[in-house]
Amino acid sequence: MVIGLISETFGQQLAGGLAFGVVYGLVALGFTMIIRALDLIHFGHGEMMMIGGLMGFTFTSGVGVPYGLAVPLSGAAAGIAGLILGLMIFLPLRAQGSPIINMMIATIGLSIVLQNLGKLIWGSRALEYPAVFASDPYDVGGVLVPAYVPWILAVGIVLMVALQAFFYRTHTGIAMRGASEDPVTARLMGVDPNRMILYTLGISGALGGVAGALLSPIVFASFDMGVSVGLKAFSAATIGGLGSLGGAMAGGVILGLVETIGAAKISSAYKDAFAYGLLILVLLVRPRGLFGGRKSGETML
């Protein structure tokens, strides 16, 4: 690696931070998409990750599905949950003309309800996945990289490329961008904003679900796994710039690296403090986020 500059241990810690950063980024993408489409901060979005993690447990340890297949399946399950919640809660609230603040409060309640449902169905204990990754790390130029790192990075890259293609090359994707930018004109063009919102909730849910299934072999699945990661992912989305998709992923990676570097080089006791400290710093110095532009979100991605 960049051997003279970074010790092997530090390189290894960075690799771990990078992987976690990508996972934060996937959840942050969902936050950002929902903000763009609905102007809504969805406090229950972290629970999409919980659904992915818990469903992934059922798929792998319960049904015996191989992990590689369980990840997209868990994503799909969370995506479906996102769609259902959209139909049951978000669209009706919008139809009523409910103010955004009410909807945000509703998402707080939703978060608690979903966690309790998770607890009810899967119990309160941490749940382990079958041994998925080789327990030996890979040796990359003297740096021991945990086995899960390349896998998580690969999934993150693939999804980003897929999203890019979706939003810029497909009808539906372009329609979704149009509907969030200018719903009136979009309607005139024959695009149904409600349907676009549903797609948004479905896709962002699926991204969260994949993140949950990716993280669970490392941190174990549990009903409360969405809480702290959800908060960090929201910070990541803010750091990257609410409304910028590329910013969301970048924000996630930056957050993951900063908290790891802080914990490794300064003090491990304050790991969370570094993550949230970064958020405060960014909000003070550059409130629209590192890559956030005008609300139109035509910036990085």
**By the criterion CB under 8 A, which residues form the site for another protein?**
7, 9-10, 12-13, 15-17, 20, 119, 123-126, 128, 131, 135-137, 144, 146-147, 218-220, 222, 224, 228, 260, 263-264, 268-269, 271-272
Measured from the CB atom, the residue of 72 and 137 that comes closer to another protein is: 137
| 84 vs 264 by CB, closer to another protein | 264
- Single out the residue of 155, 151, 166, 154 nearest to residue 301, CA to CA: 166
Burial class of residue 139, CB neighbours in 10 A (0-12, 13-18, 19+): exposed
For residue 268, the minimal CB distance to another protein (Å) is 5
Tokens standing for residue 122: 């899967």
Residue number with CB closer to another protein (17 or 173): 17
Smallest gap from residue 130 Cβ to another protein (A): 8
Please identify, using beta-carbon distances, which residue of 23 and 81 lies nearer to another protein.
Answer: 23
Check: CB of residue 244 under 8 Å from CB of residue 295: no
Least separation in angstroms between residue 3's CB and another protein is 16
Shortest separation between residue 67's beta carbon and another protein, angstroms? 14
Closest to another protein by CB, 12 vs 74, is: 12
Q: Least distance in Å: CB of 220 to another protein?
A: 6
145 phi, psi to nearest 5 deg: -100, 125
Nearer Cβ to another protein, position 134 or 154? 134
Distance of closest approach, residue 276 Cβ to another protein, in angstroms = 13
